[in-house]
Amino acid sequence: MIHFVLLISRQGKVRLTKWYSPYSQKERSKVIRELSGTILSRGPKLCNFVEWRGLKVVYKRYASLYFCMCINQEDNELEILEIIHHYVEILDRYFGSVCELDLIFNFHKAYYILDEVLIAGELQESSKKTVARLVATQDSLVEAAKEEANSISNIIAQATK
């Protein structure tokens, strides 16, 4: 089971956190501080796993962003690495060449997508296509709702003011 998912930038800034096991706000900050210290200081050639408080943290670096997942002792680390990659690929499809900036400004979308990939700390869908389809359906509904709410001329008027 995955206990939490963390996205940390190389500067140690938090980009996304999702907690599947109960942690209090205080514990969360502590976990993030501890882990970002350990993970960011690791060299590039070392293995992508860190043993931590009897659990294991699997991390992978994409550009300047670290994706970390915390798992149980008996879980398969290589599999988790691929789950991370699976998630990144889906993000990439969604945002189109996803970069850190996409996640910074659209963290809520990253959450929605994560919710379709992982649920209750388990991988729920291993087909990228299925995830993409679901997220797209949700988005199309959202867009429809938005178009109703906004008249375009309004915006033009505002812009030309």
Partner 1 sequence: MLLLTLLLRSVGFYFFTSSIQNPESNNSYTAKLEQLKTIGRELAMGSQGGFGQSKEFLDLVKSIGEARSKSEEDRIVLHEIETLKRRINEPDIPKRKMKEYIIRLVYIEMLGHDASFGYIHAVKMTHDDSLLLKRTGYLAVTLFLNEDHDLIILIVNTIQKDLKSDNFLVVCAALNACCKLINEETIPAVIQQVVELLGHQKEAVRKKAVMALHSFHQRSPSSVNHLISNFRKKLSDNDPGVMGATLCPLYDLIAIDVNPYKDLVASFVNILKQVAERRLPKSYDYHQTPAPFIQIKLLKIMALLGSGDKKSSEQMYTVIGDIMRKSDTASNIGNAILFECVCCISSIQPSPKLLETAADAIAKFLKSDSHNLKYMGIDALGRLIRINPDIAEQHQLAVIDCLEDPDDTLKRKTFELLYKMTKSSNVEVIVDRMIDYMISINDSHYKTETASRCVELAEQFAPSNHWFIQTMNKVFQHAGDLVNPKVAHNLMRLIAEGFGEDDDAADSQLRSSAVESYLKIVDDPKLPSAFLQVICWVLGEYGTADGKYSASYISGKLCDVAEAHSSDDIIRAYAVTALMKVYCFEKSAGRKTSLLPECQLLLEELSASHSSDLQQRAYEFRAILDLDANAVENIMPLDASCEDIEIDKSLSFLDNYVHKSLEQGAEPYIPENERSGTLNISNIINRNPYEHPAHSLRFEAYEVPKLVVPTKLSPAVTYPTELVPVPEPSYQPTVSSGPVSDAGSGSGSTELRLRLDGVQKKWGKPAYSSAASSSTSNIDSQRTTVNGATQPDNVTSKSREPRQPHVEVSEEKQKLAASLFGGRTARPERKQSGSAAGHSKVSRTTNHGEDKAQPTTVTTAVQPPPPDLLDLGESSGAASSYSSTVDPFKQLEGLLDLSQDGHAVTTTTGPDLMSLYSGASTNGQNQNQNLNPLLNEKDNMNGAPNPSNRTASLTKGPSLKDALDKDALVRQMGVNPTSQNPNLFSDLLG
Residues 83-122 that bind partner 1 (CB under 8 A): 83, 85-86, 88-89, 91-101, 104-108, 111-112, 115, 119-120, 122
**Residue 146 beta carbon to partner 1: minimum distance, rounded to whole angstroms:** 6
Tokens 């796993």 belong to residue: 49
Site for partner 1 in 52-81 (CB under 8 A): 52-54, 62-65, 76-79, 81
Site for partner 1 in 8-27 (CB under 8 A): 9-11, 13-14, 16-18, 20, 22-25
Position 85: which residue type? H
- State the Cα–Cα distance between residues 26 and 28, nearest whole angstrom: 5
**Residues 115-154: x where in contact with partner 1 by CB under 8 A, - otherwise, as a string:** x---xx-xxxxxxxxx-xxxxxxxxxxxx-xx--xx-x--
**Residue 141 beta carbon to partner 1: minimum distance, rounded to whole angstroms:** 6
Burial class of residue 158 in the structure, from the number of CB atoms within 10 Å of its CB (0-12 exposed, 13-18 middle, 19+ buried): exposed
- The DSSP annotation for 47-61 comes to -SEEEETTEEEEEEE
At residue 113, the 3 state secondary structure works out as helix
User: What's 16-49 look like in SS3?
Assistant: EEEECCCCCHHHHHHHHHHHHHHHHCCCCCCCCE
Q: How far, in Å, are 4, 16, 60, 74, 90 from residue 63 at the CA level?
A: 21, 16, 10, 29, 16
Indicate the residue among 40 and 81 with the shorter CB distance to partner 1: 81
**Residue 70 beta carbon to partner 1: minimum distance, rounded to whole angstroms:** 14
Size of the site for partner 1 (CB under 8 A): 93
Site for partner 1 in 27-46 (CB under 8 A): 28-29, 32, 43, 45-46
**Residue 129 beta carbon to partner 1: minimum distance, rounded to whole angstroms:** 4
